[in-house]
Structure 1
Amino acid sequence: MNVLVCAACGHHLTEPLRPLPELPPRPADGLTVDVPVAPDGLTVDVPVDPDGPADDVPVAPDGASHAPSTVPRGAYAVDPEPCGAPFVPYPDPERVESAVPGGRGGAPDGPGRLVSAGPRDTLVVHPEDSAAFLARDPASRGTGCCGESGTEGPNRVCGGCGAPVATLFSECYGPYEIHFLPDAVRTVPA
């Protein structure tokens, strides 16, 4: 078991966690709808179950609507793919990449797609394993209709020193997960 700690001050950022050998798969790509996620026109494709009810987004005990977490409670995994901001245009509109976990971003100014050029090798944790240790970055503006979109970069800071350490994705269109910046945290034995 390990604990993630702030690289700047050593403050614990998670409960004890076991490492997973790889990031569990996210929901398969299928039928999607464009959902606006930012005032600048950024949209993401949200997977839709064609056989499910229109309002099949789960409601959490705290009353928030969000999809299931990719990582189970008590575990963490490394995501080798780019995660979150910044986003860059991808010249091939047929190419499908993830701009945010579980979704792709539509270019706000025309055809094509945006893809993440954010950090690779983020440490992915179930948000409830870190909620008591982090604070919302007061400068963060990236909210969506049901939760935090994560489209504007790190939105969680260390509860000890205030350093930006992670991005929470809790919007209804993607997985419910938090991505710790690899340079902002260390793993230490629990």
Structure 2
Amino acid sequence: MNVLVCAACARHLTEPLRPLPELPPRPECDGRRNPDGSRHAPPTVPPGTYAVDPEPCGAPFVPHPDPEWAGAALPGVCVGNPDGPGFLMSAGQRDTLVVGPEDTAGFLSYNPACQEHGCCGATGQEGPNQVCGGCGAVVATLFGECYGPYETHFLPDAVRTVPA
């Protein structure tokens, strides 16, 4: 078991977590209300686990050369192009550490520099929207909108894994 800690101040950012050998497939979301009233999909990783996502994640987004491409249509991977036809694809960091948002409860705060707002939660389209609850260092991006996956991506340079 490991804990993710802030690289700037060493404060714990997660509950104890077990690493997974790979990122599991993202569950589908039917848009129905969950018992807590939210509409987000189930977490991508099971509670108490984390995985490395080798694909680019989040901002910045760049135009995809094929206007018909829609990627996996996931936040953090692609978004509609507001300046023309087609889609934008993520050119963000690779090898982010994916954690279920419940495993970060009480450890992170919303980044005051982010102004994004979806209908049901954080979209993650402006870039990292989570900061360390201790020192305020930017550490992660929460994807919590109803139309995509429900996951927190920690920036690999902003955190360290330590034994729990």
User: 2: CA distance between counterparts of 1:180 and 1:120?
Assistant: 10
**Which deviates more from structure 2 when the two are superposed, residues 135-144 or residues 164-173?**
135-144
Write out the 4+ residue segments of structure 1 that deviate beyond 6 Å after TM superposition. none
Give the drift of 1:137.
1.1
Task: Assess, with a 3 A threshold, how the Cα gap between structure 1 residues 99 and 8 changes in structure 2: closer, same or farther.
Answer: farther
SS in structure 2 at match of 1:128: helix
Is the 2:23–2:51 Cα contact (8 Å) retained in structure 1? Answer: yes
Is the 1:66–1:171 Cα contact (8 Å) retained in structure 2? Answer: yes
Figure out how many residues of one structure are paired with residues of the other and give that number. 164
RMSD: 1.8
Identity %: 74
Q: Residue in 1 aligned with 2:57? A: 83
TM (norm. structure 2) is 0.92
Give the drift of 1:62.
3.8
Is the 1:77–1:124 Cα contact (8 Å) retained in structure 2? Answer: yes
Equivalent AA in structure 1 for residue 110 of structure 2: R
Task: Assess, with a 3 A threshold, how the Cα gap between structure 1 residues 124 and 65 changes in structure 2: closer, same or farther.
Answer: same
Question: In the alignment, is residue 110 of structure 1 matched against residue 84 of structure 2?
Answer: yes
Point out where structure 2 has 5 or more consecutive residues left out of the alignment: none
Q: Residue in 1 aligned with 2:14? A: 14
User: 2: CA distance between counterparts of 1:158 and 1:173?
Assistant: 26
User: 1: CA distance between counterparts of 2:36 and 2:78?
Assistant: 27
User: 2: CA distance between counterparts of 1:163 and 1:18?
Assistant: 24
User: 1: CA distance between counterparts of 2:10 and 2:101?
Assistant: 20
Is the 2:40–2:120 Cα contact (8 Å) retained in structure 1? Answer: yes
Q: Residue in 2 aligned with 1:175? A: 149
The structure that has the greater radius of gyration is 1
User: 2: CA distance between counterparts of 1:94 and 1:24?
Assistant: 27
SS in structure 2 at match of 1:76: strand
Out of 124, 134, 148, the position equivalent to 2:98 is: 124
Give the drift of 1:101.
4.0
Give the drift of 1:63.
2.3
Is the 1:100–1:116 Cα contact (8 Å) retained in structure 2? Answer: no
1:15-94 equivalent positions in 2, closer than 5 A: 15-27=15-27, 56-94=30-68
TM (norm. structure 1) is 0.80
Point out where structure 1 has 5 or more consecutive residues left out of the alignment: 29-46, 48-55
Post-superposition Cα deviations, 1:74-125, rounded to whole Å, max 9, x if no partner, equal: 0000000000111000111233434744763111121121000111000000
Task: Assess, with a 3 A threshold, how the Cα gap between structure 1 residues 66 and 106 changes in structure 2: closer, same or farther.
Answer: same
Is the 1:65–1:146 Cα contact (8 Å) retained in structure 2? Answer: yes
User: 1: CA distance between counterparts of 2:39 and 2:68?
Assistant: 30
Give the drift of 1:132.
1.2
